[in-house]
Chains A and B, each alone.
Chain A
């Protein structure tokens, strides 16, 4: 593996600036690496020519001393982001040949700061899944212990695996119920889901509009902070995007946790959670104590309803959001003798099982006669869950939980859907509450698979989350290049 692939964002920026290597050289390294890691099935589309052109422009900028914040940083993009003149499919057959004429706000901001687009990364179909197994073009393989063919997590499985296998320096993903944090934990990297409204949703293929949020997947906290700074900010084209000021997140990193109160919710110690993950959490508690934080036991009793609420709200929105894939204007069309038959055939062939299942659940919970019992009630509980977080955040600054109940499982091993849905049990509450959360790698379990922990914070306190995450990162010393990682 080229030594250049070992460098993180700040090292790369410095290296190019000092003329140790060029953006084009670095980009070529990554494109070669993408070739070599093809077996992991991460990239749906590699935009090699474009990447080289962008790198040439980056080198020009360095030459002219006009380098921007992410000048020359090679990035992989989850296939939920629409990318101008690059095929964008949401890992679905129904969009298999869709080429947008527009660029999502978040990816556009990255390119405008000089980042380089390596290509599009696989994910669960329409981001519905926790294992990347629902992708139309097949699952991604977790780079850790790749011979064991394990799941990278989902839905941003391609994004997490690409960063973990050094096939992208950074990646962007979307998180609706854990789709950034859970794969980040499975792949031993840092995954940040910002506050709802922090990043524009414009140009991101919608799954569940009130939950979807873009975020970075990176090798470390500092890279994450740098990426988020560029990605975040108000967008007049997204009515739900926030007007909140975007601070320089890197300014938070060295502040430590001294004097901070970290809450440990007892409800997250549920049965079914792996012993080793609980042990990692205890280890992180020790890091915090050693660094002068106060540990406070807190309670979030409504947590047990979060998953049920999520599986009503998200499918309800999805059933409506996915109605536009009807074969009339773009994407797949399977002809039929009437409009209705064309719809049935197109959507029957175009959508995979999990997507169909969620459309049906969503249609059901919004139907007259069921709306009040399901959708409306779920919205009420969702509000209560938000209130519960607000209350706890009056007592503590941050909350520490495991990111996932288990480490990566073998692909195809989870037959039972409810077990699959349980993967998101620790990440879903923050999504419902709209609060920011991050997964930070801590350890490898006895099978050599990464374990992550999650830090949750108040709305728009991503800076503080990075600050706390940095303490974990510095203490845990997790090595992305250790035994078992993809060579």
Chain B
């Protein structure tokens, strides 16, 4: 239904009306920490089933939760990074429901008094304009375990490794208006959390997942009834699920139907959402303050100390890179996406032409990494080597073309560009007499072409340049070749 009549992303042209999506996200981000939120058990991913389970996680009789101070600090740090208010007083509540992978019969969460209040982040909308998205709150909660239904024909298995792992639930305001905005919001949150190292953002391992609240309305009208799509673990699925869900709602509304407020699941194989439970079946979670835990009271000094220790965040960093290294906003956006990229870039660009380094990093390095299917951290070219390569280009030791060859060797061997250039004798030829020698041999071999050129066929100049470069095996300085050719062919 998209792409008709210049409608914008996030809008749907129905049979009767133009509709707009209203989207709010709840992101569950697993806190990077060695141990779980209320038990000393390891929070490490990828262990054998039920290896990371303490007595507390298994909810043995008489066991009590004890808050993990490090996780609290991670939440405060994240709150600051989201420009949010840190609440000095917050409360842990029990969210009661029965399920086989929830040993306590309740999840410890924060309901009425979260640790972090309102905040906001910036994203770019589809026209690349800056857009502010409101954060409603961030609260701490425990993750549940995992039920495995495919291990046995009639039995289910339970893995409690994830039980009790610390999560931050970050709730946005309903400020998002298109699937693309939602995706860019998730990417931004992920990036911010990775910058402050409070979440590794690994969506495949489930460290970051989102519930999407989607409704539609005619332009300018009140919000409609929303549906919640649970547990989406990639930006691709988020985009697909929102688009499908919004179109489904428009279809119902245009046929005069009503949207039931319900929880839905996204089927990644069909790209459709389906009902999981409606409002009537919704759990009554019977939230109440957990009597095993005292309210959390934070000292102002701690809150401020954590704020002072915050690293430079993507927005600020991007601004600085544009100013300092004279790169484009697009380059900056790519480079600040990951803290590792930015750190790499700043080393590679030290004392170099920033724009040139950005080009090399974004086109050649990222391209090669993608082609080789490597992770950025495993890339064989340390930033010092890229710096050196650009230096060699800048001082005319090698041409840009040779540099690409050298770079391929750098990817293959991890060697320093200087060594590669030396080994292979790739230094650019800048000696006039040597280049003149190349030119003479080209002129000798192409007498007929020279004749034609001198008779006015100017286009042949490029042919001579090419031939000279070929004879020099690409090492001749192209500017000098141009200059000298012109004077020789006068």
Contact = CB atoms under 8 A, between A and B. Distances in A.
A236 interface: yes
Interface string B366-386: 000000000000000000000
A262 interface: no
A339 interface: yes
Given A328-B103, A329-B103, A368-B284, A320 B96 contact: yes
B292 A90 contact: no
Given A320-B94, A324-B103, A329-B58, A239 B65 contact: yes
Contact of A202 (B64, B287, B291): B64
A244 to B, nearest CB: 15
A319 B105 CA distance: 10
Contacts of B67: 239
A324 B65 contact: no
A209 B108 CA distance: 15
Contact of B158 (A82, A206, A328): A328
Interface stretch (A57-65, A98-106, A110-118, A291-299): A98-106
Contacts of B287: 366, 371
Contacts of B60: 82, 100, 102, 330
Contacts of A98: 61
B407 interface: no
A86 B162 CA distance: 30
A206 B292 CA distance: 10
Given A210-B291, A239-B67, A324 B62 contact: no
Contacts of A208: 291
A240 B64 CA distance: 10
Given A239-B294, A323-B98, A328-B158, A100 B61 contact: yes
A328 B58 CA distance: 10
Interface string B47-76: 000000001001111111111000000000
B147 to A, nearest CB: 9
B104 interface: yes
A317 interface: yes
Nearest to B292: A209
Contacts of B103: 324, 328-329
Contacts of A237: 64, 66
Contact of B292 (A95, A101, A239, A375): A239
B288 A88 contact: no
Contacts of A125: none
B459 interface: no
A204 interface: yes
Contacts, number: 97
Contacts of B106: 320, 323
B286 A363 contact: yes
Given A323-B106, A324-B59, A238 B288 contact: no
Q: Is the interface of A mostly helix, strand, loop or mixed?
A: loop
A320 B291 CA distance: 10
Contacts of A375: 288
B288 A339 contact: no
B100 interface: yes
Interface string A223-264: 000000000000011111000000000000000000000000
A202 B98 contact: no
Contact of A240 (B55, B156, B288, B294): B294
B109 to A, nearest CB: 13
A201 B61 CA distance: 11
Interface string B291-305: 111100000000000
Contact of A366 (B61, B156, B286): B286
B236 to A, nearest CB: 33
Nearest to A80: B62
A98 B104 CA distance: 17
Contacts of B156: 339
Contact of A204 (B62, B100, B288): B62
B297 to A, nearest CB: 12
Contacts of A343: 98
Contacts of B288: 316, 320, 366, 371, 375
B62 A202 contact: yes
Nearest to A330: B60
Nearest to A204: B62
A241 to B, nearest CB: 9
A201 B105 contact: no
Contacts of B158: 328
B157 to A, nearest CB: 11
A451 B55 CA distance: 42
Nearest to A364: B286
Interface string B99-125: 110011110000000000000000000
Interface of B: 55, 58-67, 94, 96, 98-100, 103-106, 156, 158, 284, 286-288, 291-294
Interface of A: 81-82, 88, 90, 95, 98, 100-102, 104, 201-206, 208-210, 236-240, 316-317, 319-320, 322-324, 326, 328-330, 339-340, 343, 363, 366-368, 371, 375
In the A-B complex, the 7 residue pairs with the smallest Cβ-Cβ separation, listed nearest first, are A323-B105, A366-B286, A210-B291, A209-B291, A324-B59, A203-B62, A205-B61
Given A323-B104, A367-B284, 4 more contacts: A104-B62, A339-B100, A368-B284, A371-B288
20 contacts: A82-B62, A102-B55, A104-B62, A202-B64, A205-B61, A237-B66, A240-B292, A317-B291, A319-B96, A320-B105, A323-B105, A324-B105, A329-B58, A339-B99, A343-B98, A366-B286, A366-B287, A366-B288, A371-B286, A375-B288
